Amino acid sequence: MASGGRQRPQHHTQAKRNRTFTLDDLYAMKEEDYERLFRRMRWPETDGEPVCPNKECKGLDHWWLENQQRWKCKGCHKQFSITSGSGFHHTKLPLPTLLKALRTFILGSKGNATSTLMKDVGIQYKTAFLLQQKFRDGLKHCIDEITLEGEVEIDGAWFGGYIKPENRKINRVDRRLKENLNGKRLVVVGARERGRHGRAIARVFEQEWQSIPWLREHLDRSSTVYSDEGQWDNLLASHKLLQVNHSEEYQKDGFINTNQMESLFSRLRRFEVGTHHHISGKYLAYYACDGVWRENNRELDDRAKLERALGCIMQAPPSRTFGGYYQFGAANLWRGTDDNPFAGWVQ
User: Can you give the pLDDT of all 347 residues of the chain as single tens digits?
Assistant: 455 567 788 887 888 888 899 999 999 999 999 999 999 999 999 999 999 988 788 778 889 998 888 999 998 888 999 999 999 998 899 999 999 999 999 998 888 899 999 999 999 999 999 999 999 999 999 999 999 999 999 999 999 888 889 999 999 999 888 888 888 899 999 999 999 899 999 999 999 999 999 999 999 999 999 999 999 999 999 999 999 999 999 999 999 999 999 999 999 999 888 889 888 888 999 999 999 999 999 999 999 999 999 999 999 999 888 888 888 655 556 444 444 433 333 33
Please state, in angstroms and rounded to a whole number, the distance separating the CA atoms of residues 37 and 47. 10
Residue closest to 214 by CA, chosen among 238, 196, 186, 242: 238
Measured CA to CA in angstroms, residue 278 lies from 109, 199, 285, 325 at distances of 18, 26, 14, 20
CA-to-CA distance for 186 and 200, rounded, in angstroms?
19
Distances (CA, A) of 292 to 136, 192, 199, 282, 288: 11, 9, 9, 18, 6
Alpha carbon separation from 18 to 298, 303, 311 (Å, rounded): 11, 8, 19
Q: Given this model, what pLDDT does residue 243 score?
A: 95
Residue 83's alpha-carbon distances to 88, 89, 153, in angstroms, are 5, 5, 37
Identify the pLDDT of residue 331.
Answer: 55
Q: How far is CA 322 from CA 141, 173, 294, 334, in A?
A: 14, 39, 21, 11
Q: What is the C-alpha separation between 164 and 52, in angstroms, rounded?
A: 53
Q: Which residues contact 206 (CB under 8 A, 6 or more apart)?
A: 186, 187
φ, ψ of residue 178 to 5 degrees: the values are: -60, -40
What was the pLDDT predicted at 3? 55
> Per-domain residue ranges for the chain?
12-143+320-334, 151-295
Cα 65–chain centre separation: 35
- Which pLDDT score, from 0 to 100, does residue 329 have? 55
Q: For the whole model, what pTM was predicted?
A: 0.88
Q: What is the pLDDT of residue 339?
A: 43
CB atoms within 10 A of CB 126: 12
Asked if residues 79 and 65 have their Cβ atoms less than 8 Å apart, the reply is yes
Q: Is the dihedral of CA 234, 239, 242, 244 positive or negative?
A: negative
- Residue 197: how many other CB atoms lie within 10 Å: 7
Question: Strands 70-73 and 240-243, how do they pair?
Answer: unpaired
Q: Is the domain covering 151-295 a CATH 3.30.420 domain? A: yes
